[in-house]
Structure 1
Amino acid sequence: MIYKIFYQPTQRINPRRENTAALYLKADSEVDARSIVENNTSYNVDYIEELSPKALEYEQQSPHYKLAELGK
């Protein structure tokens, strides 16, 4: 499945909506997605959304869509 992960770029600053960014990640489950992000970045994960096929199709039309490649 493809997950859209909303995150803050750093854990050192209080979360603010204005700083929220997103990345797309392929993982087996939401738990795996969170683990991959937390083990390979210093991001503060806000929310993880599993994308349905229609939602994924919509997201892929965005110029900002790029599947992240983080180590497992």
Structure 2
Amino acid sequence: MIYKVLYQETKQDNPRREYTHSIYVDAESSIDVREAVEKNTNYDIELIQELDEKHLEYEQKSPNFKLTEF
């Protein structure tokens, strides 16, 4: 499954929508995604969202869509 992870770049900053970023990760579960992101980054995870087929198609149209590998 492909998951969209919404995050802040550091855990010290207060979450603000204007500074929210996203990455896309291919994993077996949201738990695997959280473990990989927490192990490899200092990101403050806001949300991990599993993308269904139609949502994934929409996200893939964005020029910013790229799967992140750890």
TM-score over 0.5 for the pair? yes
Cα distance in 2 between the residues matched to 1:44 and 1:27:
19
Cα distance in 1 between the residues matched to 2:61 and 2:20:
20
Would you identify which runs of 4 or more consecutive aligned residues in structure 1 move more than 2 Å? none
Q: Identity over aligned residues, as a percent?
A: 53
Q: TM-score, normalised by structure 2?
A: 0.96
Cα distance in 1 between the residues matched to 2:59 and 2:15:
24
What amino acid is aligned across from residue 14 of structure 1 in structure 2? N
Please show how residues 1-72 of structure 1 align to structure 2 within 5 Å.
1-70=1-70
Question: Deviation string for 1:47-68 (max 9, x for gaps)?
Answer: 0100001111111110010000
Cα distance in 1 between the residues matched to 2:55 and 2:15:
26
1:18 shift after superposition:
0.9
Q: TM-score, normalised by structure 1?
A: 0.93
Question: Deviation string for 1:5-53 (max 9, x for gaps)?
Answer: 0000001111111110000000110111111101100000000100001
> Could you say what the CA RMSD is over the residues aligned between the two structures, in angstroms?
0.6
**Aligned residue pairs, count:** 70
Cα distance in 2 between the residues matched to 1:16 and 1:61:
25
